[in-house]
């Protein structure tokens, strides 16, 4: 196996809150270099694994994408109850999943999302 440059990996979450509360603490504790892709952060701005929301990755591509938090109540969010809401969430998931050029890994725990 060849080593993968961290910049070619993106961990994607549904929301900023999930990134901040669930993903960032784990990445920091593991000592993994990262770049949080905020709205005004260029995706080439630094080294490390990219961390981003599903909205932020639109138009970007990565060799390896990990979609985190694919569990009920997170994706789709609990507030997404109408058919229109669920359609928007499906489209958002499609955007995130289609950012992967080589591998896509979907993670979650507890009750799995109905969108998977």
Annotated domain spans of the chain: 6-106
pLDDT of residue 76: 73
**Maximum alpha-carbon separation in the chain:** 45
pLDDT of residue 1: 67
Q: What is the mean pLDDT of each run of 10 residues along the chain (116 residues)?
A: 88 93 96 93 87 94 93 72 81 93 88 71
Q: Cβ contacts of residue 34 below 8 Å, gap of 6+?
A: 6, 24, 27, 28, 48, 49, 50, 51
4 in Cβ contact with 63 (< 8 Å): yes
State the CATH architecture for 6-106: 3-Layer(aba) Sandwich (3.40)
Q: Cβ contacts of residue 72 below 8 Å, gap of 6+?
A: 110, 111, 112, 113, 114
The residue among 57, 75, 73 whose CA lies nearest residue 11 is: 57
Instruction: Give CA–CA dist 95/105, Å, rounded.
Output: 14
């Amino acid at each position: 196996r060849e080593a993968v440059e961290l910049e070619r990996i993106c961990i994607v979450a549904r929301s900023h809150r999930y990134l901040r509360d669930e993903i960032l603490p784990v990445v920091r504790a593991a000592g993994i270099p990262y770049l949080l892709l905020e709205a005004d952060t260029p995706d080439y701005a630094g080294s490390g694994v990219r961390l981003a929301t599903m909205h932020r990755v639109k138009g970007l591509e990565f060799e390896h994408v990990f979609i985190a938090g694919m569990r009920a109540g997170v994706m789709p969010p609990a507030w997404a109850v109408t058919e229109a809401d669920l359609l928007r969430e499906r489209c958002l998931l499609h955007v995130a999943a289609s950012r992967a050029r080589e591998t896509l890994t979907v993670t979650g725990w507890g009750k799995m999302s109905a969108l998977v």
